[in-house]
Each structure stands twice: as structure tokens, then as C-alpha cells.
Amino acid sequence: MTQSARIVGWGKYLPSRVMTNHEFESFLDTTDDWIVARTGIRERRIAADDETASTMGLAAAREALARAGLEPQDLDLIVTATCTAERIFPACSSLIQHGLGAPHIGAFDVNAACSGFVYALDVARRFVESGAFHNVLVVGTEVFSRLLNWEDRGTCVLFGDGAGAVVLQGAESGGILSSVIGSDGSGADSLYVPGVCASPIDPVVNGHYYVSMNGAQVFKFAVRTVAEATRQAVCNAGLTVDDIDLMIPHQANLRIISSAAEALGMPAGKVFVNVEKYGNTSSASVPIALCEAADAGILKEGQRIALVAVGGGLSWGAMVLEWGGTGVRH
């Protein structure tokens, strides 16, 4: 029997260390004004030495479960979106599962870079909608600060660390209405990090696993694709852009967000933005923003919300959901 997949709990975790733009002025040829004008970012969070993707994801997951009124033993599956896990294997999800105390359920990771959370949410909804599972935890968690070349002002000022999580549960109606995911591997060299298993003759690697980005290409791709993917997801839901009450985009760059919203004809008041506080937290970006919007009381029951993200791949994902409020419905 087909059912809908509804968000019944959410939680986030941000490291305590705040790194402002002014700190970069001491070791980079840049200024706060330069960074803000080009990105909208004013500060970001940096993980402590003992914090990892799994520890941050675990903290966010615990908060999401508490808000949903569920125990770890109530979960049927954990899906984690990350590209900065502390181990190649086992999956970050397995470490979160163990930390929660939810033994023997399925747990795996999804890596679609900054689009990862939307991908993971789409995967999770399929399990719920099919009736195979009732409660699924979806986590987005990243420690991008450990992939940065702190001498490259084109990348190191953009990223931060954090985690967000939601609990999906089967419901009779509402919840996720539509989704779109896609990728164009021909743009892989526009935004990537070399891997530990790359060819030993690859001159790019040399033991340095830093983010490499063609900013101009990624900017053009992001503006175009955020708008296109959102339109497609909205259309698939049988709605128009005017029917959307709030768009929660990937928080990579304020100019990308503003340009995409303008292309959609969506007023600024319908677009949630927190990039100034956290920078680009990759797959944690959308869930952190979703949590902040929910905690601030911006999300109301019955509202239609659009989630959209783009990232390395080059990948994209968009989703339309009907917000259902807090708590489990039995």
C-alpha cells in the first residue's frame, strides 16, 4: 500500500568555534568586505579536533529523534549524506547507528556532494512510500574544513562544518510531493577533491586532498540548475512556483541564491537564507537551514516547501514537500 513520507522530527549540530572573515585577513590577501561582496558569507563554524562527520551527525540525529518523540530502537533505516566521512569504510551511517544504539537496522551513505541531502531524502522516501519501512533517519553531515587549502582564497573562505538530520515517517497524506535528482559527469573536473585511491601517477594528488573548483563554471551551472530543477520539481508536484510558500536552497553563495530566485520570479521573502552565518556546509546545508526555519516558526503546517541543491558531480536535486509540523502520528 503506497503511503506518503512526512518529516516528523529535525535536528542540527554546529561546532562551537566561529571563524569570521576578519581571521582570514591575517594570512590571506583578502578582506571581510571582499568576501561578503562576492559570497554573502560573514562567518562559518569549524569543527574541533575531536569532532567528525559521524559525531556531528550523531548529535543532530539525537535531536531529530527527540523532536519526533522516537527512540533509536524505533528506526528502520539510517541514510547519511556526506563526502567527508572519517573512514572510507565502514559507512558514516554505521558509526551513527552504533552511537545511537540502534543495532541491526540498515545503514548506508550517499555521496552526491552538496546535493547529497536531497538525494538521501529521496532515497529514504522510496523506502517509506513503498511501506517497507516506517521510520527512517536521514542525516547530512560535513567537516569540509579538513578538505581546504588554507592558502587558496578562492575556496577556503567558502566552506564550513555542521550537521542536520530529519526523521521521515509514513503518513496517509502530505509529506514529500515530488523530487528531481540529476548529474552531469562531464563537469566533474569543475568541482572535486582527489581521492586516496586515485592513480599514483596523477600529478594533482601528491598527498593533498584539497577542494578544487572552477568558480566561474560552477556559478553559472548553479544559477541555471537551481532554477531549472526547482521548476521541474514544482511541476511534478502539480503546482506552480507561486504555490510555493518557502524555498530552502543550498547555502553556497548569496549571489547564486538571489540570481536563481530572480530567475524563478520568487520574492526574497519566500527564500530562506542563512549563508552569512555558516558558509557552504555541503550536504549539511539544506537540513541545517530547514531546522533553523522550523525552529524559528517560519514553517507552518500545510505550507509547501521547495528544497534544492547543486554540487559536485556536477549534481542537482530538488524536492517539494508539504510541511506537517512536529511529532509522530500513530
Annotated catalytic sites, by residue?
Answer: 114, 250, 280
**Residue type at position 203:** P
Q: Is 277 left (phi over 0), alpha (psi -120 to 50) or beta?
A: alpha
Q: How many residues does the chain have?
A: 330
CB-based burial of residue 249 (10 Å sphere; 0-12 exposed, 13-18 middle, 19+ buried)? Answer: buried
Distance set, CA 99 to CA 55, 68, 72, 91, 121 (Å): 8, 18, 10, 13, 21
Q: Is 206 left (phi over 0), alpha (psi -120 to 50) or beta?
A: left
Instruction: Enumerate the β-bridge partners of residue 102.
Output: none
Name the nearest CA neighbour of 123 among 173, 179, 169, 165.
Answer: 179
Hey, CA dihedral for 300, 171, 289, 61, is it positive or negative? positive
Instruction: Indicate the DSSP class of residue 63.
Output: H
Number of Cα atoms under 13 Å in the Cβ half of residue 327? 3
The helix/strand/coil state of 226 is helix
3-state SS of the chain: helix, strand, coil percent to 5?
Answer: 40, 25, 35
